[in-house]
Copies of this chain bind each other. A is one copy, B any other.
């Protein structure tokens, strides 16, 4: 028998990969420690040595494998292009995790999530948006003073709402609608 044993970093990587694959395979509500352990060809104890429960394991897998919204600021030279680029990034980030998973974690583990993934996304989104708006204001595209934090958060909030509520992939046209029919008319000088 190949009694190869992985350890340390290599093992941890395998475990998180297995968790991520299992998530994709069976979905969050049906993901079990058993299932992940089996997929990683190890035993549950190995998982429990690292993460106290299912949510923490999935959270760790997300941190490792989901594209965390990067703080990189799109710069297309005009507000509209920047907005669409940002919204596309937010959308694909949320869709990579999957609304089912997001709902599951929010319902089971609200408090801790509160301090990790979700607000991270919202905060980073707000920072990026802030730079985009600053630049647009310099170009004279908008009147920055009129834009309250709620308005600034509007585009990403709407995208989040759509992804969470409608369970299908979000068509690009929706992003365009949000930008052209809602946000731009609201902020144009």
Chain A residues in the interface with B (C-beta under 8 A): 28-29, 99-104, 106-108, 110, 114, 118, 122, 148, 150-151, 154, 157-158, 160-161, 164-165, 167, 174, 177-178, 181-182, 185-186
Contact = CB atoms under 8 A, between A and B. Distances in A.
B107 A103 contact: yes
A29 B161 contact: no
Nearest to A160: B161
A100, A114, A151, A181: residue with the most chain B Cβ atoms closer than 10 Å: A181
A150 B100 contact: no
Give the secondary structure class of A's interface: helix
A150 B182 contact: yes
A115 to B, nearest CB: 12
B104 A100 contact: no
A178 B148 CA distance: 11
A54 to B, nearest CB: 12
A103 B100 contact: no
B177 A148 contact: yes
A166 to B, nearest CB: 9
Contact of A185 (B104, B167, B181, B186): B186
Nearest to A167: B110
Contacts of A157: 158, 161, 165
